[in-house]
Chains A and B, each alone.
Chain A
Amino acid sequence: AQKVTQAQTEISVVEKEDVTLDCVYETRDTTYYLFWYKQPPSGELVFLIRRNSFDEQNEISGRYSWNFQKSTSSFNFTITASQVVDSAVYFCALSEATVAGANNLFFGTGTRLTVIP
């Protein structure tokens, strides 16, 4: 069965601090995809990144970076030099590729990040 755990319910940091959001996943599939989405107060889920199970290379995009480690089933997200605009709920999600191509997402419970000016 699939499962995504985001143990950090809420995190508060002062602006310009670095912050890491943890994500641990469980799956029996050998082919799967991991995602991070941002949900600002408006409610819309904003796609941030997708990683497939064959690619453990870490990725950096501006102030955002992601660390994917299959050995620990983790896909952590780091924001460097946080800004007030980063305040949101962040969701980690897992998708298991199926033969039929269906790709529903299993979400964690989210981490609410508050950046204090």
Chain B
Amino acid sequence: DAGVTQSPTHLIKTRGQQVTLRCSPKSGHDTVSWYQQALGQGPQFIFQYYEEEERQRGNFPDRFSGHQFPNYSSELNVNALLLGDSALYLCASSLAGGLKRYTDTQYFGPGTRLTVL
């Protein structure tokens, strides 16, 4: 049973560039969430995708955008990179709760370490 996978593992970019990170959810999951984890901090929620739409968004600027594909995989795009975007980007997958007041457990991938120079 494949877990959550992310690519690439590491990435080095320069300020102003754009980056795309990729995530494949755990088998059977249909919801993908993205988190940013700065060094020494806890992960911070960026956004969540379900049925190819952004369902919820954290406090991140519009430079951060995403996409979910019909096979449930997802991409995170960051435009106009800043030094402060250097972080570990974590993808998590879960099963949708629909309209019920229900929360499924999120399972995380190994992350992509982004360094902005």
Listed in ascending order, the chain A residues whose CB lies under 8 Å from chain B are: 4, 31, 33, 35, 37, 42-47, 50, 52, 91, 93, 95, 97-110
Contacts and interface: CB of A to CB of B under 8 A. Distances in A.
Query: Chain B, interface size: which category?
Result: 20 to 34
A107 B105 contact: no
Nearest to B98: A101
A91 to B, nearest CB: 6
Classify the interface of chain B: helix, strand, loop or mixed.
loop
B42 A91 contact: yes
B102 A107 contact: no
Contacts of B43: 45, 91, 105, 107
A92 to B, nearest CB: 9
Interface of B: 33, 35, 40-45, 48, 50, 55-56, 58, 88, 90, 92, 94, 96-111, 113
Contacts of A50: 105
B77 to A, nearest CB: 19
